[in-house]
Structure 1
Amino acid sequence: MSAGEGCRVARAGTAICDVCPRHCHLGPGALGACRARRSLGGAVVPEGYGRVTSIALDPVEKKPLARFMPGAYVVSVGGYGCNLRCPFCQNWEISQAGEKDVRWREVMPDELVSLAAEARRRDPRVLGIAYTYNEPLVCWEYVRDCARLAHEAGLVNVLVSNGCVEPGVLDGLAGLVDAANIDLKGFSDAFYDACGAAPGSFSRVRATIERLAADPTCHLEVTTLVIPGMNDSEGEGEAIARWLAGLGDVPYHVTRFFPCWRMADRPPTPVSTVRHLADVARRHLAHVFVGNC
Structure 2
Amino acid sequence: MSEKCDICFRGCTLEEGRNGYCKVRTIKDGKNVSRSYGLISSAALDPIEKKPLALFEPGSYILSVGSYGCNLSCPFCQNHEISQNDLYSSCERVSAQELVRQALRLKAYDNIGIAFTYNEPLINYEFIRDTFELCKEHDLKTVLITSGAVNDCVLDEVLPLTDAWNIDLKSFTEKGYKDLKGDLESVKNCIVRASRVSHVEITTLVVPGRNDSAKEMEEEAKWIASINPDIPLHITRYFPRWKEKEEPTDIDKLKELEEIAKKYLNHVFLGNI
TM over 0.5: yes
- TM (norm. structure 2) is 0.98
Alignment-mate amino acid for residue 256 of structure 1? R
Alignment-mate amino acid for residue 233 of structure 2? Y
Q: Which runs of 5+ in 2 are unaligned?
A: none
Q: Does 1:156 align with 2:141?
A: yes
Tell me the CA shift for residue 60 of structure 1.
0.4
Checking the alignment, whether the CA contact within 8 Å between 1:224 and 1:253 is kept in structure 2 is yes
Tell me the CA shift for residue 180 of structure 1.
0.3
Checking the alignment, whether the CA contact within 8 Å between 1:214 and 1:247 is kept in structure 2 is no
Counterpart in 2 of 1:117?
Answer: 104
Alignment-mate amino acid for residue 257 of structure 2? L
- The list of structure 1 runs, each at least 4 consecutive aligned residues, that deviate by more than 2 angstroms after superposition, is none
2:124 pairs, out of 129, 139, 146, with: 139
Counterpart in 2 of 1:55?
Answer: 43
Counterpart in 2 of 1:168?
Answer: 153
Tell me the CA shift for residue 214 of structure 1.
1.6
The residue matched to 1:168 in structure 2 has which SS?
Answer: helix
Identity over aligned residues, as a percent?
Answer: 44
Q: Does 1:275 align with 2:255?
A: yes
Q: Does 1:252 align with 2:240?
A: no
**Equivalent-residue separation in structure 2 for 1:235 and 1:155 (angstroms):** 41
Q: Does 1:25 align with 2:13?
A: yes
The residue matched to 1:253 in structure 2 has which SS?
Answer: strand
Alignment-mate amino acid for residue 55 of structure 2? R
CA RMSD of aligned residues (A): 1.0
Q: Which runs of 5+ in 1 are unaligned?
A: 1-12
Structure 1 segment 222-261 matched on structure 2, within 5 A: 222-248=202-228, 249-261=230-242
Higher helix share: 2
Tell me the CA shift for residue 175 of structure 1.
1.7
Checking the alignment, whether the CA contact within 8 Å between 2:159 and 2:194 is kept in structure 1 is no
Counterpart in 2 of 1:4?
Answer: none
Tell me the CA shift for residue 174 of structure 1.
2.9
The residue matched to 1:90 in structure 2 has which SS?
Answer: coil
Counterpart in 2 of 1:221?
Answer: 201
**Equivalent-residue separation in structure 2 for 1:165 and 1:181 (angstroms):** 14
Counterpart in 1 of 2:94?
Answer: 107
Q: Does 1:204 align with 2:186?
A: yes
**Equivalent-residue separation in structure 2 for 1:291 and 1:133 (angstroms):** 17
Checking the alignment, whether the CA contact within 8 Å between 2:15 and 2:26 is kept in structure 1 is no
